Amino acid sequence: MAAKAGAAPATYSPSPTANKKNRPPIFTDIDWIRPDGRDFHQCRPAFLRTGAVNAASGSAYAEFGNTKVIVSIFGPRESKKAMMYSDIGRLNCNVSYTTFSTPVRGQALDNKDISSQLHKSLEGAIMLDTFPKTTVDVFALVLESGGCDLPVVISCASLALADAGIMMYDLVAAVSVSCLGKNLVIDPVSEEENYQDGSLMITCLPSRNEVTQLTITGEWSTPKIHEAMELCLDACSKLGKIMRSCLKESASTSQE
């Protein structure tokens, strides 16, 4: 059992979360209480602030329940030398997780996938032709992962872009819904995400009523999709208002 000298000793986490594969029966019932006591159609309280990182040209911090995210924007700055000439600007997105963001250390998700999804959902909202030949870097760091990471990153990134003064058609608001048995739950926490049957995420431009990205995974029936989309769009427009008021607030304080 003793580790050989020189080799790194094997470590393990003493918490019992690792070997819990079966979903608790509670989630299959029609009536159950969500882990944080919310209604099924109630979002977590959102806290948004711009100007979190002074070294960046624009930045934002978002906190939705336990999910905490910082996004910094750098640029527009010169594209790398190896890149081809381009009439329109480029967007470079990267999402990373802290080692302590997940319950087990260093067990972060595949962030390439999340980075490309962030890219796709922002691309449609940014006026790329306003900064030709240059690149805007969008870097996100998930400080704590508490479920719904991608939608929070997307909303926070669009707020940071606005803070950096990058021209956009509209803010991008993102909300996801999970399907758990017979129920639809909006803005799921990690625990619910682990046991979900399917998930749906919409990123939209609330005031133009345009959808930049729609992702559906898992098992869905057509009426369910309709219901979930309506829920999401409604929540997006509310989130859009919160984001707008956050920007207004920061603009009015900086003027003083």
Chain residues in the site for another protein (CB under 8 A): 1-3, 5, 9-16, 52-56, 59, 70-72, 74, 77, 94, 96, 98-100, 105, 137, 139-141, 143
Q: Minimum distance between the CB of residue 221 and another protein, rounded to whole angstroms?
A: 38
Q: How many other C-beta atoms lie within 10 A of the C-beta of residue 172?
A: 31
Least separation in angstroms between CB 53 and another protein: 4
Residue closer to another protein (CB basis): 143 or 216: 143
CB of 58 to another protein, least distance (A): 11
Q: Which is nearer to another protein, 47 or 100 (CB)?
A: 100
Shortest CB 77 distance to another protein, Å: 8
Identify which of 164, 163, 175 has the alpha carbon closest to the alpha carbon of residue 246.
163
Close Cβ partners of 248 (under 8 Å, ≥ 6 residues apart): none
Residue type, 11: T
Cis peptide bond upstream of 76, omega within 30 = yes
> Among residues 93 and 239, whose Cβ is nearest to another protein?
93
Which is nearer to another protein, 64 or 74 (by Cβ)? 74
Q: Pick from 87, 86, 46: which is nearest to 65 by CA?
A: 46
Nearer to another protein, 75 or 188 (CB): 75
Alpha-carbon separation of residue 12 from 69, 146, 168 (angstroms): 27, 22, 47
The answer to whether 158 touches 95, Cβ cutoff 8 Å, is no
Query: How far apart (Å, rounded) are the C-alpha atoms in residues 91 and 50?
Result: 20
Tokens (6 digits) for 146: 């508490």
Supply the minimum distance, in Å, between the C-beta of residue 139 and another protein: 4
